[in-house]
Every structure is written in C-alpha cells, then in structure tokens.
Structure 1
C-alpha cells in the first residue's frame, strides 16, 4: 500500500485502497471510507503522516482473526465495526467449523436476540425472530435479498452477518427487528484446497470440498468451487430425515486491479422427510414421548431446488471512488406435503380439552399442508462508495439504486383430516384426494434509491445520516376454489441517523435512530383482508458502546434500545374479513457481547440479550399486556475454545439459553391461556486434534445433557429440539 502524497494524507491503516488487498477471502474490493486527516491523527494520537513504499498484501479482507472480525462485510457499512453505530454480529467461518454447524438454524443460535420459529403454513424453511420481530423474509446473500422458503446450508459461506434493529435504509422493505446477510466465499489469488468428511450418531453422513486456484496465464483471475452432500436424521426423532446436495462455482477476473468482475452460481437441492413436531394442549406443549411422529412418514415430503446466478463488476476510479453493479437472478422451486398435528382438528390456537381428560383418550387430527410453487427474483443494484473532503470534514458516502422484480405462483390443494392417538400415533399410508385447490400468481416490483453519509467532524466525532425511498408495487391473482384480483402500490421513505463519539481509537459511544416498513405483500402474498392496508412502520432508538481491549484482540459491545411498531396489522373487530392498522408492539432491551481472544490460546464468542416485548395496543383486548410471538425475554449464547499446549489439541464448549416464549399473543379460544413453551439450556462440547499439518480429527457433541426442549414454535405445532448426538469429522487442508 502507498500513503497518499497530498497534504491531506490519511492514515494508511484507515484508508488503504482495498483493491490492493489481493487474495482476499471476499475477492472483491470496496473503498474503506474510514479515514481521518493526518493532521488530526497527529494532534490526537501523536501519529505523523506515513510514507510507505508500495507493497502487496494478502489476507482476509474482512479483517477476520479467529472468532473476531473488525470490518463489516456489507459494503454499505463503511466504518470498522468498533465505529459502526449499530448492533452488528459477525459469525465467522472458524466458529461455524469449531461448532460443527451444518445448518443456518444452528449458525444463528450464536446470535443473542435471535429466536428460532417453526415454518408457517405457506412459508417453510428457515424462520426466526430478531429482537422479537419475525425475520423470515429478511435473509440476504451478499447484500441481495435471498427470498426463498428453504433450509439454508452454510457450506459456501465465509461468515454470517446479523444486523439488529430496523434497517430499511440498507435493505429496503422489512427488517423490523433486523436482517441476516450471508457472506459467500469468493475466488482469491491464494490457493485453497480443503475438505471434510463427517459421520454422526443421528445418521449424519456429510462431505464438503473447497478448492480455489489462480488461473495460469491470466493475471488477477481465479476460480473457486465449493461442493456439499449431506444426509442426516434428527436425534430422538426417528422418522425425520434430511437430504441435501449443493455446489457453488465462482470465477473472478482483475483481482488486485482497479476493475474486477466476479461471476458465481449457487445450487442447493433438498429432499426431506419433514417434521412438524407435536401439538399444543390447553396452551402448553403436549406431554408426549420425544419420538412421537404424527405425520405420514413414507409420504410427507419437502423438496426444494434453489438456483442463484450473480454477476458483479467493480471499478475503482481512484482511491476514493468505487462504483459497482451487481445483477442477480434467483429461482426457488419447492414442492411439499407436510402434516401438522392439531388437537381435535380445531385449528391453531384452539387446542382446548376438558382438564383432567386422560391423555390416551385425546385425538389428534393430521392437518395436511400441501403446496407447489416457484419464486423468482431479478435484482440489480448499482452502488457507489465515495470518500471526499469538504473543508475540514471527511465524508464516507454510499449512493445506490436497486431495481427488483419478484414473482410467486403457488398451487395449494386442500386435503381432509385423518385422526390418530395423541399418545400412540399410528403410521398409515397417505391415500387422500384434494377437497379443493387454489392457484395464485403474485408480481412485485420495487424501485429503491438510497444515500448514506458518514461525516468525520474531527478525530472524536462522527455524524451519520441515511435516507432511502422505495416504490413497492404488488399484484395478486387467485383462481380455483376462490377468485381474487388485488393490487396495492406503496411508496415510502426510510431513515437512519447516528452520532458517534470516539474517545480513543479503539472505542466508541453512539446514539442511533432508524426506521423500517413492512408492506402487506412483503412475503409475496396478498389477500382481501390486507390489500387495503398500508405498510406497518417500525422505529428504533439505540444507545450503545463498543470497545476493543487486550491490544484489540477482544471486542466488547453493549447497547440499550427501544423498537416500536405503532401500526401493526390486526383483524378488524367489526369486520373479521378485513385487517386494520391498530396494533402497537413495543420492545425495550439491553444487549452485551464479547468476541475474540482472552489469551493467545483462549477464544470466546458470546452475548446476552434482554428483550421486554409487549402488546401495548390492540383492537382485541385479550392481547394487551402479552408478549408478541416468539419473543423470549432472555437469550444467552456462548462458545469458547482453548488450545492446549501439547499434542495440538483444542477443546471447546458452548451454552445456549432461551427463556420462555409464546407462540401467539392471542389467548387460546375460549380461555385466557396463552400458548407458552418453557425456556431451555443446552450444552455443546468440542474436541479437536491436529494429526499432521494437513489432517485433523474433530468431535462435536450437541445437547450433551440430553435436554428435552421445545425448539421452534408455531401457533399450530411445536418442533422439538434434537436429543444428544455426536458428530465425528475428518478435516483435510492442503
């Protein structure tokens, strides 16, 4: 890197041109945008401008060091994490590997404030809440919406980035509680050859391979391929089984030069025997055997095919201006027939039987949910990162325009119920014919324009402001057993503002304000009840601090916040066929985190989140004072590892705690009882031994105490957490 030769030279460590960081894990470059005037640096820190000869630097662009990450992966966040005025949790690849993580759900257990939920009727796959708000539609892949009801596998991810708090300025619609950005592996100049082979006591058989090579004879070009195959059961649930296969080829040109082009393709397919768990009974999980299965084991299925192609071009006009364009097409195909167990077939929230009724006499209805659909997205993002000085102030600006078109075409047959015993469900073949069928078609067009500016007033104070405007237009058509033609257009701004005080280089204190909006067709669905309803709006106020200690090897974070959704969609009490904006959800919380090295051998990744979520207004008085669905007050996540001084042995342990949660804020029909599941604590263990420079053996034990716990909640059913299981892995890295 070369220091600037102008009189306004900046600290090289803060404004190093990223296109000179070749062989990076991301393989792409963005202008850093975190510079300070050298004169300020000299006055504040006693640092004179540096003049360094040009050098070639190879390493991880994100600044990742074990469990610790110092730069956000999302290019719209221009500052180091310690100076970013927002709660951003980076889950690195090393942590995923140490924990033996094979699903997105397990990866997200590392994030305080995240609570997993079960799939909805027409939306299966990964489902979660962030700070008490549903975030199933808030998944992104390298900054572009990853809208698909499927179960994600982290085989092609370098890390996972969770932004907590409303973030529509960065992403557009949604993100009431936050968003999940998946950071994919990218081609790099440095060679990579690694793979793993795993076997587990729950029937797991898994392999992964990751190969990267520079292309001979083409300077700055590299190609990378990641492959995964997985077959696994669920410990303690004999009938559930998951089968996945995926591959991701990627090629890049111009690495280490001002102009870079990256082409990548991602494919993931699955063929699962799904598990919808156990039913509710009088507002509590039914007290049944862990292995009870209420579906059709040989006939239930959930099949998905995900294909995503992306082309990205970036150009550095100079050290201060980078423009990029990213074009993506994604296709998400799914076909499913799953069985939801409902007491007496009365439907979600109606699980009432006479107290004292013998469990053996209670009947469960098998509610068949079936669907076949293809969702597509065509998205183009043009983005400019600009660093400029105006008088005494430095600006790190991001401008952009996003154009997106999404479609969905679900076909939904309706099947009759069959009955079985609550305590001893029987296995029967599926031989039902549909009662009726509906065909839907949804089109959504979104145009978004945004601008974010971080202004360095001096070495101690930054001001950040952002605005985005989205025009979100949707059209819904349905034929079959019902007929509908609906249309809704919404245009809304989103805002973000923050003030940051940096008393020293390694610490910051910030105050932040942000907004988000959720239109009726956010999940690519519209109904007569919602078509006339304006978007829900969410605001957040957050005050926090960040501090890198122990010579910047350990990052500490803390924040207090309030999130309020003041116009929640609720059923009109005067017209049950219509929704109105009449609800009010409020969440007040505190969050702490610690990530990095305690010593050279001892690493830590963990955090605690407290969320006091409550319904403060509703047209249904029975809701008042209750928590919104899937909003636990307490979540604790902790994983730590230690390298022993002999025999290349590393040991690790993790704890995950989730307090009691409700499945709905509406009482069970005819009662004042809220469906509530108790909290739980699970323990995980890890041991790793390095046999040679290229081969290591690893053992992971999940739920080491064999806790019976309720993992994912829905008003109609509960998915149980897996029993104790062990995973044994051979890792090879050449």
Structure 2
C-alpha cells in the first residue's frame, strides 16, 4: 500500500507540475498585474476572451444599465423598444463574476423584457411574450465558488438541480432533489447518526454535504425551503473541498438577498395528511445604505408517511439573510439557518435471512409510538465579506458557526437467522452450531440468550428483537475560509486562479444509553406497548474534537480559445482527539476509560485538459485524488484510531454540450475510481468499523437538463456502475471466529472454505449497477402544464461482500452445510405526475402525484434493517408570486 501511495504522489506531482508552476508565476506577478489591469474592465482584449466577466453596474435607469453592460461586455444591443421606454424603468444592477447571459438576465429582472442572443456578440431585447416567460434562464451555470470556470468548461461531471426543477416536482427535502441526479443512492442512517445518508458513485457521502461551499456535517434531515439550487459534483473533489469527497460532494446553494422586491409563497396539502406552508420575502433596504437588502425564507410542515403507520414528520425552518453593498466593490452578508424537527422515525423492517421479512403488512411498525423520537435543532450562522480588488481579482472571507443538537431513540427491528458457532477449540467442537428456535425469547439482563430461527420458520412464529438505538449529542463547528480568485494574463496566457485557506474546529459529544427490550411478534407488533426495558444501563459520553486546516490552489490556463489546462494541489491537516470515562455499569463487563488520537496529514492532486471543438461544447480528461481519514465523521475509538486513511484515485473522460442558447445541456462521461484501505460498517455490529480491502468502481453516466419554450422542462439521467470488492480481508460471517481458532490450533482446514472465504469480486454496498431518472413538463391546453417522471434503481447489496451463514435446519448443524448468502435488496421503478395551471396572474394551482403504482420498495437499505419508500400520495398546492 505504501508503494502504491508513493507512486500516486509522484504521478500527481508530475501531472500538475506545469499548471502549478505557471500559476505560482501568476501569483508572483499578481500585485503588478492587478494595478496594470485595474482600468481594463471595459475593453481589454484579455477580458473579451474570457467566458465570464467582472461586472459592476449600479442600480438605476434601465437604459443606463444597458449602456454599462455594452461597455463592460462588448456585446452589441439590438433594441426592439424605444429608448425612452427603457429610461422609465429601473434595473437592480449587477456586480460580480458572471457570463454575459447571466448578467443580462439580472439587469432585466422584473422589467418585463426578455432577450435573445442572435450571435456571439449581438443580443436583441424586447417585450416578454407569454411563451418566452420561462426561457430566460440558462441551465449552464455553476454556483460553487470553488470553481473558476463556467459549467461547460469544468472538467468534471457536475449536475445542477435548479429552482424550476424543485418547483415542478414540489420537492420538500434534499433527498427529493437528489433523486434527479444519476449515480446517487439513498441509504438508512447508521446506529450512531441519522439524517441524510447517501452514496455518490458507490461511495459514502454522508460527510460530503456542503452549505454554500462549507461543510454541513450535522446529522439531520435537510429541508429544501431555502434552496436556490442543489449542485452535485461527481468524482474526486479533494483539491476543492478537502477530506472525503471520493464519489463527489453535494452543495446546497441557499437563497441570497436581491435588490428586487418580491414575495413568493406556497401552501400544500396532501393525502398523507401533509400540511406545508412556505414563504420567501425579499425587500431592498435603501434607508440602510447602497445595495442593502433583506431576505427571509420560512417553512412549516407536518405529514404522515403514506402506507406506513405511526411515522410522522414535523419540521419548522427559518432562514433570514441581510446583505449590504450589493452592486458595489465591497459586499457584506450575514445569514442564519434554523431547522427544528420533532419526528416519529421509522427504521422499517428486519431482515429474515438475507431478504426482507416476507408476507408482513407494509404498514407494520415495530417501534414505540410514544417513545421513539428524532429531535434535531441545527443552527448555522454565516458571515461573508467580499471585496473586488479590481475588475479581475476578488477576495472573500467566510466565517461560520454551526451547532447541531440531536436527541434520538429509534427501534431497529432484528431477527436472528445467522448460525451461531460455539467452542471452536474443543475436540469435535469445530463446525457445530447452537441455533435453536426453542430457546426462550425473553433476554436476560446481559442479553446473552438469543433465539435463532431457521429460514423455514413460519412468519407467524417469528419473534422480533426491538434493538434500541439511542443518542444524545451536540455537534458544533467554528470554521473560517479565505479565498483569493483572480483572472490574469501572464506571458500572453490567461490564468484563472483560486487560492483557498481554511480551517477550524469540529466537535461531537455523543451519549448512547443501552436498553434490553422484550421481543415482539413479527406479524402483529403493538406500537403502543409501553417503553419498559427488561434492563438498561447508562452509557458514557464520548468527547471528540478535531482541529483541521487546508491550503489549496487551482489554476486554469487558457492556452488557446479551444484548449484549457488545469492543475491543482491541496494539503490537509486533520488532528482528532477522543476520550470517554469509565463505565462500571456496562454489560457484560465494565469498561475502562479510553483515549484515542489520530493525526492525518496528506496532499491531494488534480489535473485536467478541456478541448472545445466549438464554443458551445467541450471534451475533457480529468484525474484527481482524495482521502478519507478514520475520524472523518468525528467518530474515533480504539476500533479505528490506528486505521490508515482511505486513499482514492479517479480518472474521467467526458463531454458537455449546450444547445438552444444554453437552454439545453447534455453531458456524458466514463470513469474509474479505486479506493484503498476501504472502511465499512461491520455488518454484525453497527458500532464497529472494519477495513475490508480495495474498492473499484468503473462506470458511465449521461445526463440532460433543459428549460425550453412551451414550459418544456427536462431533467434526465442514467448511471452504470460496475462495483467490485478487491483484495478483501473481510472473512465471511459467521466463519471468521472459527477460522481464527483453526489458525491458533494450526489446523490444516484454516484459511480454506467454508471456514474462510475472501469475497473478492463481490459488489460494493448500496451500488446499483443501473439507475436512472426522468422528469419532464410541457404546456398542454388552456394554460395547463403537465409533467411526468420516473426513477429506476437496480438491485443492490446491503454490505460489501459480507456473506452470512443462514440457519435453515433444526438442531445442531455442521458448518459445512450452512448455506452462504448475501443480504440484497431488489430493484424497482416508481412513477410520478404533475399538473399545474394559473388561477390568477399571481397564483398557480399545482397537483403532484407520487408513486403512481403504489409500489412497495426498499428506498434506504442498511446492513441491519430496511426502510421502505412512501406509498401512493398526492399533494395539492397553491404557488403565489408577487
């Protein structure tokens, strides 16, 4: 592994050397060039060649704003309306780094005018017609500040889920929005953490969720009420975002204050007893100074879950933001996000053998209606300062404090069908099992007596263990990020460079109590049983603190109009300390105080080439690395403190193309990602992390996003993922213990099947080989707009290569006769539909129907339980815009 790491490091240095040297040269001359270019914003040849421009146009009369746009962009304006008409209207202005089209859209917002690009340097401006209202939004935009190039010229697969898609689908959560991104699979929360859990291209990304470019690592379910868009970068992003980010990252782009007054709102009601109200209010504050504006978004929602008993979602959120200096060289903003949730959670169904328990009503709830809860109250405060040093260079600083308290008690249903081995060192004991369904199902205080059922047992005879997952904790973060972004011309070559320096503190203090509960009928559990543990003992609070910082640098060289070369490097320092007190009440034996420490220091590299056969298209090659430290999720103990970081390397080749003046974007890619030292949750113990070997994923992906006339909105995606577990050290359960005993006895059967199995070549957990999504809308008749969508997910494994010996006979059995199977989840199709019609000029009525076929499917798998998706439901809503 060390040899491979060294080779990768050398290869990374070679691949990015040219770009890095050129970029450092650019930085060395930055001061001199900055002064030289300060007055060149309007007409310099260097600026005219850029895909984006630095605009600084003040709010004021529209005719003056358009004159300034022409002067700063060089675009010729073909006006279809009298000039004096423009002078009577006001423009909000624009300031920042934008493409011509995005800047012009901002200038015309709220004026009633639309635009059409007649060529590369000519645009016509006229009255907006009813057919063109929805056509003034380009889909080829990228809001993540970690990137210097527009979406078309970014050498990586990036999928943006914009506002119009979220509105068409009536999306209410981050998970709803992410169903529009191929290559993403949902997963159930682990024992110690709940909230949004997902994989990107087969790799766990629970810790790779960002909010406006800074990590949002809290364990909570994120509401979509404050989203401007959801951006998903697929592939390694270690250079841009730091630790983790193997399969990619998810960035939530929140709504920002604007200089246009408006009020938007929704009211939704559903067949699943859904009640949801949102409001989005923006107000310019001229009395507070130039460019001041205030915006606030609010949500209140409550709903049941269709075809599931007891489960209920209750959530409230508010997100105010205040900004000063819009359209000025210096901009200040402070924003706050609060989401409060008090939900009755659902951990679904137990496995019976290697599949979901058969023949049980899909509404069955195994928890405690009055005593299961998920309570989270995240608070996130962000301050941001941006200053334009000149028309080419901007410096920004973002300071964030975040606090994520949670209190959780969830019931995980379990049925034991795994052969239990005993006395492997005794004479004649090797290969025997004590898996007897006649053992009493009333656990003792120590929980030592557990029933084990053959898979031939009638479902009506099964008893389910109510495993209690509890956690009280507060995660918090104090983080500061400074970046310098510049566009300079050095030795005749245009450089788009970005330097990021960031760091801070992250902490967690979980307390997990333990309870032993009576078993319950698999067919007819009573969710209203009182919560009366047979035995309980207090846990010990664990204190985890991480100090980390990262220094990263990216540079893109525009060698020709058709050729871009990029290189980047980042160094991360991640130091974690964990300690907890002794626990004399722990069973079966008391635990001593424990201290764990882990320090990781590691670089990441990235290099890419973009070739543009035409201005509206690009073909690219991208190579990058990333790493995942053991304490990535602020969970560190003796179990994982000595484990080396996971190391990842990805190669990707792809193409992107824009059509209809950036109204339709098509993209496709093929890629290969390899992860060394892969860590995974122990399929036999959710609290343990094990190193299972090397992951390899090879795949291909295509996507399309369109926002076209006739209300024709389109989002399509397909991903093929061929996953493989290589060089695994994971022994097939339950044979690991007996194989270790055979090794100790020097028995010749050691390391041979069936006592030892290395499941090389097995698929990786939660990676469907095929997955896809489609949602489209189109104008119908008499003002109606209709929509249809579908999602497909192929069969998945619940854990990577973990085979289980299933007890399918009565009485003691020889280990060689126990069949080996893998926990698996079948694939599924689900369908949805939408219809919308204006009621008045300002109000639309919209109906969304989800899971049209009322499909019973597993949406979120886990090695120890299965969470079903929601059944057929309909939402009726009114959308208000003023």
Measure, in 1, the Cα distance between the counterparts of 2:853 and 2:227: 30
Deviation at 1:66, TM superposition (A): 7.7
Deviation at 1:100, TM superposition (A): 1.0
Alignment pair present for 1:687 and 2:759 = no
Answer 1 or 2: which has greater helix percent. Answer: 2
Alignment pair present for 1:457 and 2:457 = no
Q: Are residues 93 and 579 of structure 1, via their aligned partners in 2, closer, same or farther at CA, if it must alter by over 3 Å?
A: closer
Measure, in 2, the Cα distance between the counterparts of 1:598 and 1:262: 34
Q: 1:626 aligns with which of 759, 762, 781?
A: 762
Measure, in 2, the Cα distance between the counterparts of 1:19 and 1:235: 51
Measure, in 1, the Cα distance between the counterparts of 2:58 and 2:177: 28
TM-score by length of 2: 0.77
Secondary structure of residue in 1 paired with 2:47: coil
Measure, in 2, the Cα distance between the counterparts of 1:690 and 1:599: 17
Measure, in 2, the Cα distance between the counterparts of 1:731 and 1:528: 53
Q: 2:298 aligns with which of 213, 227, 233?
A: 227
Q: Are residues 324 and 307 of structure 1, via their aligned partners in 2, closer, same or farther at CA, if it must alter by over 3 Å?
A: same
Please say if residues 138 and 662 of structure 2, whose CA atoms lie closer than 8 Å, have aligned partners that are also in contact.
Answer: no
Q: 1:274 aligns with which of 334, 345, 348?
A: 345
Q: Are residues 616 and 144 of structure 1, via their aligned partners in 2, closer, same or farther at CA, if it must alter by over 3 Å?
A: same
Alignment pair present for 1:565 and 2:637 = no
Q: Are residues 18 and 528 of structure 1, via their aligned partners in 2, closer, same or farther at CA, if it must alter by over 3 Å?
A: farther
Q: Are residues 33 and 413 of structure 1, via their aligned partners in 2, closer, same or farther at CA, if it must alter by over 3 Å?
A: same
Q: Are residues 251 and 27 of structure 1, via their aligned partners in 2, closer, same or farther at CA, if it must alter by over 3 Å?
A: farther
Q: 2:475 aligns with which of 371, 375, 395?
A: 375
Measure, in 1, the Cα distance between the counterparts of 2:571 and 2:259: 39
Deviation at 1:192, TM superposition (A): 1.8
Residue deviations 1:614-659 (CA, integer Å, cap 9, x gap): 1011113443221111111111011000012x42211001100010
Q: Are residues 356 and 68 of structure 1, via their aligned partners in 2, closer, same or farther at CA, if it must alter by over 3 Å?
A: farther
Q: 1:336 aligns with which of 393, 401, 408?
A: 408
Measure, in 1, the Cα distance between the counterparts of 2:135 and 2:356: 42
Secondary structure of residue in 2 paired with 1:10: helix
Deviation at 1:168, TM superposition (A): 1.0
Residue deviations 1:663-687 (CA, integer Å, cap 9, x gap): 1121124542111010010000000
Measure, in 2, the Cα distance between the counterparts of 1:300 and 1:669: 32
Q: Are residues 66 and 679 of structure 1, via their aligned partners in 2, closer, same or farther at CA, if it must alter by over 3 Å?
A: farther
Alignment pair present for 1:307 and 2:443 = no
Please say if residues 570 and 618 of structure 1, whose CA atoms lie closer than 8 Å, have aligned partners that are also in contact.
Answer: no
Alignment pair present for 1:514 and 2:649 = no
What's 1:292 paired with? 364
Q: 2:520 aligns with which of 408, 414, 420?
A: 420
Measure, in 2, the Cα distance between the counterparts of 1:414 and 1:313: 47
Secondary structure of residue in 2 paired with 1:147: coil
Alignment pair present for 1:319 and 2:391 = yes
Q: Are residues 553 and 328 of structure 1, via their aligned partners in 2, closer, same or farther at CA, if it must alter by over 3 Å?
A: same
Q: 1:678 aligns with which of 801, 826, 838?
A: 826
What's 2:205 paired with? 135
Between 94-103 and 619-628, the greater mean CA deviation after superposition: 619-628
Instruction: Kindly report which structure 2 residues correspond to 1:208-607, keeping only aligned pairs within 5 A, or say none.
Output: 208-217=278-287, 218-287=289-358, 288-344=360-416, 353-427=453-527, 428-432=529-533, 434-481=536-583, 482=591, 483-569=593-679, 583-597=693-707, 599-607=709-717
Please say if residues 259 and 315 of structure 1, whose CA atoms lie closer than 8 Å, have aligned partners that are also in contact.
Answer: yes
Bigger-Rg structure (1/2): 2
Deviation at 1:83, TM superposition (A): 1.1
Residue deviations 1:247-274 (CA, integer Å, cap 9, x gap): 0111000000010001101110000000
Measure, in 1, the Cα distance between the counterparts of 2:782 and 2:664: 26
What's 2:862 paired with? 714
Alignment pair present for 1:73 and 2:162 = no
Deviation at 1:392, TM superposition (A): 2.2
Deviation at 1:20, TM superposition (A): 3.7
- Structure 2: gaps (5+ residues): 1-38, 61-91, 102-117, 126-133, 421-434, 436-450, 584-590, 731-756, 807-818
What's 1:61 paired with? none
Measure, in 2, the Cα distance between the counterparts of 1:322 and 1:606: 36
Between 68-77 and 408-417, the greater mean CA deviation after superposition: 68-77
- Structure 1: gaps (5+ residues): 36-45, 56-63
Secondary structure of residue in 2 paired with 1:412: coil
What's 2:189 paired with? 119
Between 545-554 and 684-693, the greater mean CA deviation after superposition: 545-554
Answer 1 or 2: which has greater strand percent. Answer: 1
Measure, in 1, the Cα distance between the counterparts of 2:637 and 2:604: 25
What's 2:423 paired with? none
Between 669-678 and 484-493, the greater mean CA deviation after superposition: 669-678
TM-score by length of 1: 0.92
Secondary structure of residue in 2 paired with 1:95: helix
Deviation at 1:298, TM superposition (A): 1.3
What's 1:190 paired with? 260
Measure, in 2, the Cα distance between the counterparts of 1:704 and 1:361: 34
Deviation at 1:379, TM superposition (A): 0.6
Measure, in 2, the Cα distance between the counterparts of 1:549 and 1:570: 43
Secondary structure of residue in 2 paired with 1:623: coil
RMSD over equivalenced CA pairs, Å: 2.7
Q: 2:849 aligns with which of 696, 701, 707?
A: 701
Residue deviations 1:531-562 (CA, integer Å, cap 9, x gap): 11221111100000001123432111000000
Measure, in 2, the Cα distance between the counterparts of 1:465 and 1:195: 44
Q: Are residues 650 and 6 of structure 1, via their aligned partners in 2, closer, same or farther at CA, if it must alter by over 3 Å?
A: closer
Instruction: Kindly report which structure 2 residues correspond to 1:97-112, keeping only aligned pairs within 5 A, or say none.
Output: 97-112=167-182
Q: Are residues 464 and 337 of structure 1, via their aligned partners in 2, closer, same or farther at CA, if it must alter by over 3 Å?
A: same
